[in-house]
Every structure is written in structure tokens, then in C-alpha cells.
Amino acid sequence: MQGEADAARVLDAADRLFNERGIQGVGMDAIRDAADVPLKRLYRDFPSKTDLVHAVLTRRDNDVRTALARYVDDNASTPRERVLAVFDFLYEWFSGPDFRGCLFINTVGELGGTSDEVGRIAARHKRAVRDYLADLVTDCALPESVADQLLIIANGAMVTAAMHDDPEVARQARAVADILLRAARPVGERGDDCRRAASPRKSR
């Protein structure tokens, strides 16, 4: 149990420091100090910094997607509201004091050219988010391709909000997403909500 607790502290510390300073700006000694675990213990769980980076990204993938699905379930009911709630989630995230952009995008920017595995983990995360969006737009009776367009809007919002330190970017992205949802519906069926109500799908 102590070993699991130590590993969790290391992951927490690494996640925070990587988010604040970037991957290359953080050494294993700094992570050890922040986690308050012996260096030997750290290397037993994570033999290299590369292993730790992969573990942090894998855990964050699960945490982000779980938090997003929970937020949508708790704050929206109709199919259209559920899609737009994704951008309300982004607004709350962008408004937090620890927001530095998307760790997956940032890490690919730092390491993507030298680490194929980082690229694979980041791409897998984005595909999983895209699949979740596809479930939401399918419940709106819209083409699944709308999910790809929504993901582009969301990713662009993450980068822009981080560059300008402006959470309002999420509101603007939400407005664009709303326009997209309306435009994607057949002419003559463009009301205030999606064409049909559907039971919310479980996240994949």
C-alpha cells in the first residue's frame, strides 16, 4: 500500500510540474522533492523519466475524459445542451489557476519529434475525446463528422486560451460550436434543439 501511495504522489507531483514548466524543464530530482519520496523509490516505480512521462499522460487521459463525461452528465439534459456543455467544461478548466494549456498538445510540441510513444499516447487521447463527441452528436442525429469539427474547435480553444491567458475563448468556441450544430442540420429542421432527443450514451 505504501508503494502505491508513493507512486501516486510521484504522479501527482510530475503532473503538476510538467504542466507548470514543461517536460524538459523538470528533472527527476525536482519531482522527487515535490513528491517527498526517496529517489530510489521513484526509480523503482519509474525507471526513467520517459516512463514517468508516459504514466502521467496515460493517467491524465483517463482523468480528463472521466471529468468531462461527469460534467456533461451533471450539467446538461438535452442532446444539444450536452454537446455545448463540453465547452462549458472547457471554460471552467481555462478559468482555473493551474491552466497552462492541454498537456497532450504541449508535450507533443516538446517531445513529439523525438518520441513516437508520446505522439501515440496523445493521439489516442484525442481520438477517445473525438469518439465521446461522436456519441454526443449521434444523439443529436447529426453526422458523425461533426465530432471531428467540434474537436478542432476545442483544440484550437485550448491553444488560444493558453496563449492569451483568456478563459473567455471557451465562450467564443461555444458560440462557434452552436453555429456548427445548427448549420449541420437539414434545412427546414433547424429549431432550437437537435432533431430528436435520445438517451445519453455512456462515455467509451
**CATH code for the domain of 126:** 1.10.357.10
Backbone torsions φ then ψ of 113, nearest 5 degrees: -75, -15
Q: Are residues 174 and 146 part of one domain?
A: yes
Q: Are residues 12 and 56 part of one domain?
A: no
Domain boundaries, position 54:
50-183
pLDDT of residue 190: 52
Q: Are residues 18 and 61 part of one domain?
A: no
Mean pLDDT of 4-29: 96
pLDDT of residue 187: 56
Cα–Cα distance, 54 to 50 (Å, whole number)? 6
Split into its structural domains, the chain has a count of 2
Cα–Cα distance, 198 to 204 (Å, whole number)? 17
The pLDDT tens digits for 64-95 are 999 999 999 999 999 999 999 999 999 999 99
Q: Are residues 32 and 110 part of one domain?
A: no
Q: Are residues 90 and 6 part of one domain?
A: no
Q: Are residues 153 and 78 part of one domain?
A: yes
DSSP structure string for the chain: -HHHHHHHHHHHHHHHHHHHH-STT--HHHHHHHHT--HHHHHHH-SSHHHHHHHHHHHHHHHHHHHHHHHHHHH--SHHHHHHHHHHHHHHHHHSTT--S-HHHHHHHHHTTT-HHHHHHHHHHHHHHHHHHHHHHHHTT--THHHHHHHHHHHHHHHHHHHHT-TTHHHHHHHHHHHHHHHTSPTT--SSS-SS--PPPPP-
Q: Is 89 contained in some domain? A: yes
Cα–Cα distance, 177 to 91 (Å, whole number)? 14
Enter the pTM of the model. 0.89
Q: Is 58 contained in some domain? A: yes
pLDDT of residue 202: 44
pLDDT of residue 121: 97
Cα–Cα distance, 14 to 142 (Å, whole number)? 40
> Which percentage of the chain shows pLDDT scores above 90?
86
Q: Which of 13, 32, 47 is a domain's end point?
A: 47
